[in-house]
Amino acid sequence: ARLLHGSIFAKVIEGLRELVNEATWECSGNGITLQAMDSSHVALVSLVMRSEGFESYRCDRNMSLGISLVSMSKVLKTMGKDDSLTIRVNDDSDSIIIAMESQNQDKFADYELRLMDLDSEHLGIPDTDYSCAIKMPSSEFSRICRDMSIMGDSVLICTTKEGVKFSAKGDLGQGSIRLVQTTNIEKEEEAVIIEMKEAVALTFAVRYLSMFCKAAPLSPQVGLSLSEDTPLMCEFKIAEMGHVRFYLAPKIED
Amino acid sequence: MNRQLGISTFFLTL
């Protein structure tokens, strides 16, 4: 699999590696997918990178590759920001080859990472017709998570037709941030757009939301989908090739 | 206090 902009892959890895340290990458003719839960099985991440999004892609037979995201992240940190990236696995090999090429083709780096033997537990993610779908700038969402984490470890997300409200309370006291739906949309990327079938009010652990925001460099917008008694879906699109979707189970009043 | 649910409460293991 070859990417002209290797930085896209680095952003994917940086977006996943705090939530999951290692994961099984499923490679097929259609592209690469990954599904993994965090260690406490509270959150799940689903990655899709379609083959047509790569500059070139070939997969002669389906492979499940156990990869340490922490090690992959260390290797990708050596990549130049404009480097192209090629990832290769030979048929009977127990390692993955990561090749980086500088833009003016004068520097070639090759790394080989040992593959891991991981037992991949796969969950079925049901198609959900969410009560509420919010689109907002990913930087804004990152900022809200950071600000709310000052006040408490849980954030209540309430949606109404006017907008969406994030609130947190703890020993210090409490705080809330309300975003109003954008009316005159000049730039889609900066808009807050709320499609609401019915109002929802759900509580989530803010430290997971903050971990999801590590994937924000992938996309200027984030999609948040909510329904009562349903995991939140937090989606960052990967331009022209797929998405990273995080799911987080809600917290409930005892 | 609110209690954190597990993701497998909602998504079934295949």
- Tens-digit pLDDT profile for residues A194-209: 999 999 999 999 999 9
> Quick one: pLDDT at residue A165?
98
What pLDDT is stored for residue A92 in this prediction? Answer: 85
Q: What is the pLDDT of residue A185?
A: 80
pLDDT more than 70, % of chain B: 100
CA-based nearest residue to A217, from A137, A110, A117, A155: A137
Residue A32's nearest CA partner among A247, A246, A243, A248 is: A243
Q: Tell me the residues of A at the B interface, defined by beta carbons under 8 Å apart.
A: 37, 40-44, 121-126, 154, 203, 205, 230-231, 247-254
State the pLDDT at residue A112.
Answer: 97
> What does the DSSP 8-state code read for residue A131?
S
pLDDT, position A193: 95
- Looking at residue B6, its pLDDT comes to 96
**pLDDT one-digit tens code per residue, A99-154:** 999 999 999 999 999 999 998 789 999 999 999 999 999 999 999 999 999 999 99
Using CA atoms, how far apart are residues A142 and A37, in angstroms rounded to an integer?
21
**Residue % of chain A over a pLDDT of 90:** 93
Tell me how close the Cα of A231 comes to any Cα of chain B, in angstroms. Answer: 7
* Cross-strand pairs, A253: B2
Q: Tell me, what's the pLDDT at A183?
A: 87
Count Cβ atoms within 10 A of the Cβ of residue A104 and give its class: 0-12 exposed, 13-18 middle, 19 or more buried. Answer: exposed
For an interface test with B, the pick among A125, A204, A227 (most B C-beta atoms closer than 10 Å) comes out as A125
pLDDT (mean) for A216-233: 98
Q: How confident is the model at residue B13 (pLDDT cuts 50, 70, 90)?
A: confident
Residues A81/A7, Cβ–Cβ less than 8 Å: yes
Res. A191: pLDDT tops 80: yes
ipTM: 0.95
Q: Is the pLDDT of residue A250 over 90?
A: yes
| Whether pLDDT at A60 is above 80 | yes
Average pLDDT over residues A68-79: 98
- Nearest beta carbon to residue A123 from set B2, B3, B8: B8
Q: In angstroms, what CA-CA distances link B4 with A102, A174, A228, A253, B9?
A: 46, 20, 15, 9, 11
For residue A183, what are the contacts with CB-CB under 8 A and spacing of at least 6? Answer: none
Nearest to A55 by CA among A24, A110, A99: A99
The two tokens of residue B8 are 């497998």
pLDDT of residue A35: 97
Task: Please answer whether residues A140 and A148 qualify as being in contact, where contact means their C-beta atoms are separated by less than 8 angstroms.
Answer: no
Residue A142: partners with Cβ closer than 8 Å, 6 or more residues away: A210, A213, A216
pLDDT of residue A235 exceeding 80: yes
- The DSSP line for A182-247 is PSS-SSGGG--EEEESS--EEEEEHHHHHHHGGGGGG-SEEEEEE-TTS-EEEEEEETTTEEEEEE
Edge-to-edge strands, sheet with A201-205: A174-180, A163-169, A154-159, A201-205, A251-253, B2-4
pLDDT for the residue A59: 97
Distance from CA of B11 to the nearest CA of A (A): 6
Please check whether residue A217 is in contact with residue A14, taking contact to mean a CB–CB distance below 8 angstroms.
yes
pLDDT at B1 over 80: no
A36-45, A75-84, A170-179, A182-191: the lowest-pLDDT one: A182-191
